[in-house]
Amino acid sequence: MHATSAGVDGYLPLDWLPRGVAFTNNRGAHGVKAEQFMRMAFTMLHTRMPEIIANQHARRWVQLFSPNLVGRTALIVGLGDLGEASARAAKQLGLHVVGVRRTARKSRHADAVHPYAKLDKLLPNADFVVLAVPLTTETRGLLNRQRLASMKPTAAVINISRAPVADYAALAEQLRRGALAGAILDVVDPEPLPADSPLWDAPNLVITPHISCDDGERYADISLDLWFENLARFFQKKPLLRRVSLQHGY
């Protein structure tokens, strides 16, 4: 069984999976687009585009300048396919990159990697907090009200994973109070976001419609390449790649 998405939270818990059936996902299909999106997200938030966009709508010319982006700190939560893509984008922009992941494994692109237990100590120093974790019972509500409140008022949040990883009501409240500088959310709950959701016009919030990581021309080709690679491995009796862990749920 193969999921054409990377996130398999919609299938959890995996107690329905028949014994002996391998379940693989599409991780690896999203890195290129995710990296491009993250370059955009970091630079848009740093350039104060949420405010500038609002000013354009209000026909207001206000010269909002921004300093050099180099040297700011990106805290990347989750270092899978999307997290590594975010780390690559951040390094290319000259950011200091701190990663948080479940295992102690290092990252090719992050300057430092910490376990989740360190998250509360790291949040107050971040200029950007990037959510790139799978949605599991462990990560649901991870960026909660209290953690959001511990961030700098000049900091910004980017979510390219799953909406329930963060408390969006608390995030919108912080944005309204100016306790956070901005956010770019590529995922919401539910999708499509209903027209009457208060998120649409939260200040300094940019909503992108779950498009951050999917190649609009080649997604099917990329997915089939990953699937056929595994089919070849199956015939060669090699271990399959991108298997979803029943224990971790991703």
- The residues of the shown chain that bind a copy of itself, judged by CB under 8 A, are 32-33, 36-37, 39-40, 43-44, 46-47, 49, 52-53, 55-57, 59-70, 92-93, 191-193, 195-197, 200-201, 206-211, 214-219
Q: Which is nearer to a copy of itself, 63 or 247 (CB)?
A: 63
H or E stretch at 56: helix 49-57
Q: What is the nearest approach in angstroms of a copy of itself to the Cβ of residue 60?
A: 7
Q: Which is nearer to a copy of itself, 46 or 96 (CB)?
A: 46
Q: Which is nearer to a copy of itself, 21 or 195 (CB)?
A: 195
C-alpha angle 200-206-208 in degrees, rounded to nearest 5: 90
Q: What is the nearest approach in angstroms of a copy of itself to the Cβ of residue 180?
A: 18
C-alpha pair distances (Å), 98 with each of 143, 180, 207, 211, 226: 16, 20, 25, 25, 29
Q: Does the annotation mark 173 as catalytic? A: no
Q: Does the annotation mark 191 as catalytic? A: yes
Selecting among 88, 96, 109, 162, the annotated active-site residue is: 162
Phi, psi of 214 (to 5 degrees): -110, 125
Selecting among 191, 233, 243, 248, the annotated active-site residue is: 191
Q: What is the nearest approach in angstroms of a copy of itself to the Cβ of residue 239?
A: 30
Residues 93 and 43 sit within 8 Å (Cβ to Cβ): yes
Q: Which is nearer to a copy of itself, 222 or 244 (CB)?
A: 222
> Which residues, in sequence order, are bridge partners of residue 99?
76, 113
Phi, psi of 8 (to 5 degrees): -120, 20
Selecting among 102, 145, 210, 218, the annotated active-site residue is: 210
Task: Give the position of tokens 């026909």.
Answer: 59
Q: Which is nearer to a copy of itself, 138 or 164 (CB)?
A: 164
CA distance 97 to 243: 28
Q: What is the nearest approach in angstroms of a copy of itself to the Cβ of residue 196?
A: 8
Q: Does the annotation mark 140 as catalytic? A: no
CA distance 111 to 76: 11
Q: What is the nearest approach in angstroms of a copy of itself to the Cβ of residue 2?
A: 21
**Amino acid found at 222:** I
Please identify every residue annotated as catalytic: 162, 191, 210
